[in-house]
Amino acid sequence: MKTIHVSVVTPDGPVYESDVEMVSTKAQSGELGVLPGHIPMVAPLQIGAVRLKKGSSTELVAVSGGFLEVRPDKVTILAQTAEKAEDIDFVRAEEAKNRAESRLNSKQDDVDFKRAELALKRAINRIEVTQRKM
Ligand code: ATP
């Protein structure tokens, strides 16, 4: 089976590194699947899951946007935050979701709605990745 080397990197350091058969992400333009031999490209990502296929198993990493770069033998994902599914604190994500929802539902005009919306998306993404709902 042909493989491609994938690294997921954040400002705090590397989060994931492995040879995989396919990497699938949510680019701003839609779902993006990269197989070995893909043409070089750079694509901005949405808040979403990175799926890494290895044999019969698929590993998940939650990322908060960032960029995917494809080079001939290597994919690099650069994200502000990234967590492997098993490293996600589910309770923390639920609390972040609740906080973001109450900010979005509040009538106060000092709420930064864009910021609350992004926090909500990150929290839902982390919850879905731990539950493998994707
Ligand atoms: P919170 O309000 O819980 O901090 P957040 O979405 O504002 O959530 P981020 O700013 O995206 O948090 O991330 C800050 C740091 O905390 C990053 O290093 C990120 O990987 C980590 N992190 C955030 N939420 C979780 C979680 N539920 N489980 C594990 N790590 C997390």
Centre of ligand 1 from the C-alpha of residue 93, in Å: 8
Domain match, 126 and 113 both: yes
pLDDT digits (tens, 9 = 90+) for 2-26: 999 999 999 999 999 999 999 999 9
Domain match, 23 and 78 both: yes
Domain match, 8 and 65 both: yes
Domain match, 35 and 76 both: yes
Domain match, 65 and 79 both: yes
Domain match, 72 and 95 both: no
pLDDT band at 134 (very low <50, low <70, confident <90, very high): low
| Residue to probe by mutation, ligand 1, list 81, 112, 114, most atoms within 8 Å of CB | 81
Helix axes 90-105, 113-131, angle to 10 degrees: 150
Structure tokens that stand for 93 in this block: 């994500």
CA distance 50 to 62: 6
Centre of ligand 1 from the C-alpha of residue 128, in Å: 14
Domain match, 111 and 80 both: no
Largest CA distance in the chain: 56
Closest ligand 1 atom, residue 126 Cα: 27
Q: Is the pLDDT of residue 133 over 70?
A: no
Q: Summarize the confidence of residues 107-128 as an average pLDDT.
A: 92
Q: Which domain holds residue 122?
A: 89-133
**Phi, psi angle pair for 128, to nearest 5°:** -65, -35
pLDDT digits (tens, 9 = 90+) for 21-55: 999 999 999 999 999 999 999 999 999 999 999 99
Q: For residue 126, what is the domain's CATH number? A: 1.20.5.440
Domain match, 78 and 39 both: yes
Number of domains the chain is built from: 2
Other CB atoms closer than 10 Å to residue 121's CB: what's the count?
17
Centre of ligand 1 from the C-alpha of residue 36, in Å: 31
Q: Take atom 29 of ligand 1 and give the residue whose Cα is closest.
A: 88
Q: For residue 12, what is the domain's CATH number? A: 2.60.15.10
Domain match, 14 and 77 both: yes
**Cα-based torsion angle of the residue sequence 98, 101, 106, 111 in order, rounded to the nearest 10 degrees:** 100
pLDDT digits (tens, 9 = 90+) for 50-77: 999 999 999 999 999 999 999 988 999 9
Q: Take atom 3 of ligand 1 and give the residue whose Cα is closest.
A: 96
